[in-house]
Amino acid sequence: MVKVLKGLAQYLDLSLGDLLEGMALHAFEGKSAFSARTLGHIKRLRSIYGLDLTANDSHRLVEKDHVDH
């Protein structure tokens, strides 16, 4: 996922931080952050980097318990 985000930031000529900020601000207002053209580029990046997770997967991702030593 990070590789896709980095590739997208480069494509849009943004820093990764600026890309994430823009995505979050759009999400906070329930708006799409990307045009159809950019979504096409994201699709290509996902294919290149083998990212097959979807939004539905985010609800099933679980972190393992952290054990302090």
Q: Is 7 helix (H, G, I), strand (E, B) or coil?
A: helix
Domain contains 59? no
Question: Rounded to whole angstroms, how far apart are CA atoms 24 and 60?
Answer: 21
Domain contains 18? yes
Domain contains 67? no
pLDDT (0 to 100) of residue 65: 73
Domain contains 58? no
Domain contains 45? yes
Q: Would you place residue 64 in the very low, low, confident or very high pLDDT band (cuts 50, 70, 90)?
A: confident
Q: 5-51, pLDDT tens digit by residue?
A: 999 999 999 999 999 999 999 999 999 999 999 999 999 999 999 99
Domain contains 23? yes
Assess whether pLDDT exceeds 70 at residue 68: no
Q: Which residue range(s) make up the domain with 25?
A: 2-49
pLDDT (0 to 100) of residue 27: 96
Domain contains 54? no
Assess whether pLDDT exceeds 70 at residue 66: no
**Two structure tokens written together for 17:** 């931080």
Domain contains 20? yes
Q: How many domains, the chain?
A: 1
